[in-house]
Amino acid sequence: MNALDLRSVSKSFGGKRVLDDMSFSVPEHCVFGFVGTNGAGKTTTMKMILGLLKADCGEIDVYGERVSFGATKTNRLIGYLPDVPEFYGYMRPKQYLGLCAEIAGLDEKSAQPRIAELLDLVGLSDANRKIGGFSRGMKQRLGVAQALIGDPKLLICDEPTSALDPVGRKEILDILRKIKAKTTVVFSTHILSDVERICDRVAVLNKGKIVLESAMGDLKLQEKSTSFTFEFNREIATDEILRVLRENNLEPIKYETAEHTIESLFLGVAK
């Protein structure tokens, strides 16, 4: 069964068509990257899946159950991380997750171990101060924890890494990778390297339509291209690569060492 199905969904805001007859499916147990430029309609799509916005037409199913606007029952299957999760600044992480657990209907006995487990997962076990003083990265991680409190089958994250520095981004991606075995993850982003790092499937949204939907493996082999990025599991001298290419009659017109090296440098010194 698919975790998520959208069929012919359209949405306009004040005459401007944001989503136009959009359809896509997310199979179970995958990390699904939902890619599009800022303003492409990613957040609108997610809010409609959660019943926070009403679709003008079309159908949305979560695990075969129809989503309705307002208090939708399908939300018990979904965990949601908004693009900028907002908390009550005067609470501590445990208190906040306690509130979430009660709202989500967890019984008291299972709530405490679940909260401890989640705080451990997102690396906030020792952060016992008020949420108001948290950094963006910490808030985002707490956001993942609150989204997972009810053990959802589907986790929807709206641009979880966009506002974070490389360290924070890596932490969030590592968490998403960890939960992949139990939970289907849909996350929107405009950072393509994040998609490459953890996604199994990807859909590209442009001008209100899905212009590409594919498994990551297929995507890479699908077409000929004039531009490639390779990553090796050991250090290689640039000359060596160029020599191999020339021996095979391939003459690159441009090469650069990947941004990853700068990033790994940053990650190394920022630890």
Q: Applying CB under 8 A, which residues contact another protein?
A: 47, 50, 52-54, 70-71, 75-76, 78-80, 82, 84-91, 95, 99-100, 102-105, 130, 132-133, 143, 146-147, 149-150
Q: Which is nearer to another protein, 24 or 134 (CB)?
A: 134
Return all residues near 255 (Cβ < 8 A) that are at least 6 apart.
Answer: 238, 241, 242
- Measuring CA to CA, how many Å separate 99 from each of 33, 141, 156, 244? 30, 17, 20, 60
Measured from the CB atom, is 73 or 182 closer to another protein? 73
List Cα–Cα distances, 200 to 32, 62, 140, 155, 171, in angstroms.
Answer: 6, 19, 22, 15, 19
Least Cβ distance, residue 229 to another protein (angstroms): 36
Q: Please, what is the minimum distance in Å from the beta carbon of residue 136 to another protein? A: 13
Tell me the pairing of strands 65-66 and 78-81.
Answer: unpaired
Q: How far apart are CA 74 and CA 61, in angstroms?
A: 8
- Cβ distance to another protein smaller for residue 31 or 50: 50
Give 70 or 113: the residue with its C-beta nearer to another protein. Answer: 70
Say how far apart CA 265 and CA 271 lie, in whole Å. 10
The least CB distance from residue 208 to another protein, in Å, is 18
Work out how close the CB of 228 gets to another protein at its nearest, in angstroms, rounded to a whole number.
40
In terms of CB distance, is 34 or 80 closer to another protein? 80
Shortest spacing between CB 204 and another protein, in angstroms: 25
